[in-house]
Amino acid sequence: MRLGVLDVGSNTVHLLVVDAHRGAHPMPASSEKTVLRLAERITADGKLSVEGADHLVHTVAEAKGAAAKLGCEDLMAFATSAVRDADNVAEVLDRVHEETGVELRVLTGTDEARLTFLAARRWYGWSAGKLLVLDIGGGSLELAMGVDEAPDFARSVPLGAGRLTRERFTSDPPRREEVTATAEWLAGELAPVAKKVAKQGEPDRVVATSKTFRSLARLTGAAPSSAGPRVRRVLTEPGLRQLIAFISRMPAADLAELEGVSSSRAHQLLAGALVAQATMRALGRAELEICPWALREGVILRRLDQTNGEDS
């Protein structure tokens, strides 16, 4: 079965096409990204702008066409924080459906955490024991923990890299006092979440997923993507601390020149690093392992599970 997954995020719209069937490892066939930065197109009254909605409709229509040309039997489209937070979300979803025929499902933060956890669980298997999974997106930070395929604990907090960049930094690069104040503020915001995680007991494995963590790991010495997904990659707190001292003085244009940093996300790299550091410190973790599977893979796996149930 060839499946298409359309991920409408805060920064990009990503079409991932995979070949997948029962009992098999989903194999990527195509991957296309379009930079929209929808989170930056939210107006002062909390609505996605007309221009932002126009671009979203156009991009979804193009992705639908690309998926059809690639032979997808199904296109699963979902949106995360940027669309979820817009006050006119229902209107935007109706317009996307009317003009493209694509039903765009808005995931809750808890949905994101649970689906990302499912992907990590399938990647590492039962031998990983109790998993703690972290994911930094553009608008939110997700945490999930458990021993089964569905986590016992799943939480989403509005501490995404893009959100913090917009709300807490006023210059490029940010002023030193802004960086210090943001780090202190994050510690306060994460303390109650960390207490709830601690009540779940000690994890056997702590992993992090998605672009922000992958970029930070690469910049602190992890293997490049060309080495393949099965190479073990880690992000350490000492390495992250040194990286923050380095990148906090660099403008986004210079950050975009670093290996593993995309131009579309360079402006929010520092905020992402601060969230990662604050989360690791709050949870008392000196090292995180990078999981190559994340939310999109979780959506695919859930879809296959549902198909299997229907077939049985």
DSSP assignments along the chain, one per residue: -EEEEEEE-SSEEEEEEEE--TTS--EEEEEEEEE--GGGGB-TTS-B-HHHHHHHHHHHHHHHHHHHHTT-SEEEEEE-HHHHH-TTHHHHHHHHHHHH---EEEPPHHHHHHHHHHHHHHHH-GGG-SEEEEEE-SS-EEEEEESSSS-SEEEEES--HHHHHHHH--SSSPPHHHHHHHHHHHHHHHHHHHHHHHTT---SEEEEEHHHHHHHHHHTTPPPGGG-TTS--EEEHHHHHHHHHHHTTS-HHHHTTSTT--TTTGGGHHHHHHHHHHHHHHHT-SEEEEES--HHHHHHHHHHHHHHHHH-
At 297, which amino acid appears? Answer: E
DSSP assignments along 300-312, one per residue: HHHHHHHHHHHH-
Q: Looking at residue 15, what is its pLDDT?
A: 96
The two most distant CA atoms of the chain are separated, in Å, by 59
Q: Which residue has the tokens 């979300």?
A: 89
Number of neighbouring beta carbons within 10 Å of residue 50? 11
Phi (first) and psi of residue 2, to 5 degrees: -100, 120
Cβ burial, residue 307 (10 Å; 0-12/13-18/19+): middle
Q: pLDDT of the chain along its 312 residues, tens only?
A: 899 999 999 889 999 999 988 777 889 999 999 999 999 999 999 999 999 999 999 999 999 999 999 999 999 999 998 899 999 999 999 999 999 999 999 999 999 999 999 999 999 999 999 999 999 999 999 999 999 999 999 999 999 999 999 999 999 999 999 999 999 999 999 999 999 999 999 999 999 999 999 999 999 999 999 999 999 999 999 999 999 999 999 999 999 999 889 888 899 999 999 999 999 999 999 999 999 999 999 999 998 888 755 444
Q: Residue 11: which of 291, 267, 296, 208 has the closest Cα?
A: 267
Q: Looking at residue 312, what is its pLDDT?
A: 41
Question: 2-106 falls under which CATH superfamily?
Answer: ATPase, nucleotide binding domain (3.30.420.40)
Delimit the CATH 3.30.420.150 region(s) of the chain.
110-295
At 293, which amino acid appears? Answer: W
Q: Residue 30: which of 19, 43, 42, 21 has the closest Cα?
A: 19
Q: Residue 287: which of 228, 241, 227 has the closest Cα?
A: 241
Q: What's the predicted TM-score (pTM) here?
A: 0.94
Q: How many whole angstroms separate alpha carbon 53 and alpha carbon 65?
A: 18
Delimit the CATH 3.30.420.40 region(s) of the chain.
2-106
The CATH code that applies to domain 110-295 is 3.30.420.150
Q: How many whole angstroms separate alpha carbon 63 and alpha carbon 33?
A: 9
- Region label for 147, one of left (φ > 0), alpha (ψ between -120 and 50) or beta (otherwise): alpha
